[in-house]
Amino acid sequence: MTTLDVVLLSIAEVVGDFGFRFFAQKGDAASFIQGGAGYVAVIYFLIKSFRVGNVTYVNGMWDGVSAVIETLAAYFILGERLNTPLQYFGLVAIIVGIFMLHSPDNLIPN
């Protein structure tokens, strides 16, 4: 699995989440369609990722990359913020976890 597939999977999830968020607020059909299209793309990239990666790895990478990308998008596009420094520390821990999941086995001595 390529990192690009996970990034595209996460971006598709952001598109879907933002669409459904706007639909929940405004109730317009365009937002619902955007949300649905985002999640159709999520399914496509998820299947593509499962062709070469196992569920444990794909899910861990998807959750981590998605958390970072969606948080950045919400921060810059929607103006949303976290409430405490501990929550920001949690994001840093997620980023460290992504690197640990993606690192080759030979980085950790036996």
- Is 110's pLDDT higher than 80? no
Number of domains in the chain: 1
Q: What is the pLDDT of residues 72-81, one digit of tens each?
A: 999 999 899 9
Q: What is the pLDDT of residues 14-40, one digit of tens each?
A: 999 999 999 999 999 999 999 999 999
- From 61, 56, 63, 55, select the one nearest 100 (Cα to Cα): 61
Domain that holds residue 60: 3-107
pTM: 0.78
CA-to-CA separations, 36 to 14, 19, 40, 50, 54, in angstroms, rounded: 11, 8, 6, 21, 26
- In angstroms and rounded to an integer, the radius of gyration of the C-alpha atoms of the chain is 16
Q: What is the pLDDT of residue 47?
A: 93
Average of pLDDT values for 48-61? 87
Query: Average pLDDT over the chain, rounded to whole?
Result: 88
Kindly state the helix (H) or strand (E) to which residue 17 belongs, with its residue range: helix 3-26
Q: What is the DSSP letter of 75?
A: I
- Is 109's pLDDT higher than 70? no
